[in-house]
Amino acid sequence: MKDTKIRVYTKERGIRCLKEGITLEQYRVKYPDAIRVKKPPSMKTLEKWSNDGVAKSLDGCRVEPDGECAHGLPSWMIALGII
């Protein structure tokens, strides 16, 4: 079954799933800096990244677990509130 949820990230609110029927454009009216993100990595993947001392940012760049990429996007660990 394909996951059809729209996930967004804002610095203010973190990762959110939009309610059914709400579009990214509608959400951006209130939160203009919202970006669409993929499904978060599993806890197992996050643990592996933590042990390795590297992680990925929301757009897939390689970063430190508590860092952000050159594009200004945080690691998944920060976005999910783990760090």
- pLDDT, one tens digit per residue, over 24-82 is 999 999 999 999 999 999 999 999 998 999 999 999 999 999 999 999 999 999 999 98
Task: Give the pLDDT of residue 61.
Answer: 95
Q: Do 82 and 45 have their domain in common? A: yes
Provide the CA 76 distance to its chain's centre, in angstroms.
5
Question: What's the rounded Cα separation, in Å, for the pair 34 and 37?
Answer: 9
Q: Does the pLDDT value for residue 19 go beyond 90?
A: yes
Q: Which domain holds residue 53?
A: 41-83
Beta bridge partners of 36: 8
Q: Do 1 and 26 have their domain in common? A: yes
Give the number of domains in the chain.
2
pTM for the model stands at 0.84
Q: Do 8 and 24 have their domain in common? A: yes
Confidence category of residue 3, pLDDT binned at 50, 70, 90: low
Give yes or no for a contact between 78 and 55, defined as CB atoms under 8 angstroms apart: no
